[in-house]
Amino acid sequence: MKIGLFFGVLLLSIPLFSQTTINSSDFPTGGDTVLVSITNDFEYDFESTGADYVWDYSALNMNEQRIDTFFDIDDASLLYQVVFNNGWFDPDYQADYYTPLLNFAFPETDVVPIGNPVGFTKIESDKVEIIGVGLEISGIKIPVKNEIIDIEYELPMNFEDAWESNSFFEVDLNPAFDGILRRHQERVSEVDGWGEVTTPFGIFDVLRTTAKIDFTDSLRITFGEFTTWIELPTPSQVVYSWWAKDQKIPVLQVIAQDVGGSETITSVEYKDRDLHDVSITENGANQTRIELFPVPSSDFINIISESEIQNVQIYSVSGALNTSNIWSAETGILNVSQLVPGSYIVYIINADGAYAEQIVIE
């Protein structure tokens, strides 16, 4: 009886759940899409962390939503593919996917005309690397290798893991601007917590990572025969991420600017429901009337909107992007003849907001 009682007490003392381990299969691959909700609720305590910790952000209010796409490298522009899709001759810079860098830390200057940054990511069993970026300088796409590659995550990730990564790139801004931009970056990361996080999307067993990123940006400019380097003030970033198994992106991510040791939150985002679960109200879209007909269809679908349509995307119900079309009209015809019969989601962005509608292809 005493032995049985001893083992009973021992079993009760064993934790009901264990720490999570994050590995390469928990990150996205080319072609993946996720729905992200953005909130302006910056007043929560996002810094506190620890072992067996419980974070409750269930009351976050969604202000807007977007679809994040991790584009297959084969779909990149030819110029980007020459640099980041050439694994036979340059395997260190063979990207797995590229994606827009929505929180890219721009150098604080009006001199450098940089826009539409994208990041090229390589995933291996032991690390996730940002191997370079794509920048548009006065509308010209310029691929930029990280000459010293940025290690974003060391894998597998477990509680109390830590790593540092120093990276560097240099980009010639000619012919748009007679100058050279250099960036030295220092990333200091740690897995500083594990436990359970609750967001409006659900409850997850997670690892929490914190990355502190410092930038040293400088610009070389030439005046006649005189050349000088100017240091550009770019605020440091602090990135808090909550990682769960099989979610492809952090289920919650908070980004702050660090100026003189004082953090100011600039972004709070969390993974949310799949696109086909989003109604007009839920995704923050307006009530502008949009008509799609005929549905079902096997060849063409007409789209009519009360405001100008800017972009039309078709997704499978599993979230994979099939087509993306740039429009600039209130009406148009969508060619669906190449789609395999089944159900799809048409995601329409117009001048007033976003709209999602399910269609059936026969």
Q: Is the pLDDT of residue 319 over 60?
A: no
Q: Is the pLDDT of residue 9 over 70?
A: no
Q: Is the pLDDT of residue 282 over 60?
A: no
Give the tens place of pLDDT for each residue, 77-89: 888 888 999 889 9
pLDDT of residue 8: 43
Q: Hey, is 114 helix, strand or coil?
A: strand
Give the tens place of pLDDT for each residue, 174-193: 766 778 889 999 999 999 99
pTM, entire model: 0.72
Give the separation between CA 75 and CA 322, rounded to whole angstroms: 12
Catalogue all structural domains in the chain, each as residue range(s) with its CATH number. 28-273 (no CATH), 276-361 (2.60.40.3080)
The stretch 266-295 carries a mean pLDDT of 62
Give the separation between CA 361 and CA 339, rounded to whole angstroms: 7
Give the separation between CA 94 and CA 79, rounded to whole angstroms: 14
Give the separation between CA 108 and CA 221, rounded to whole angstroms: 15
pLDDT of residue 279: 38
Give the separation between CA 102 and CA 92, rounded to whole angstroms: 25
Q: Hey, is 4 helix, strand or coil?
A: helix
Give the tens place of pLDDT for each residue, 202-245: 999 999 999 999 999 998 887 777 888 988 888 999 999 999 99
The stretch 289-318 carries a mean pLDDT of 77
CA dihedral 25, 278, 318, 153 (to 10 degrees): -10
Question: What residues contact 167, with CB distance under 8 A and at least 6 apart?
Answer: 130, 146, 148, 149, 150, 184, 185, 187
Cβ-in-10-Å burial (0-12, 13-18, 19+) of 135 comes to buried
Q: Is the pLDDT of residue 278 over 80?
A: no
pLDDT of residue 112: 64
Question: What residues contact 314, with CB distance under 8 A and at least 6 apart?
Answer: 321, 322, 323, 324, 334, 336, 339, 344, 345, 346, 347
pLDDT of residue 300: 85
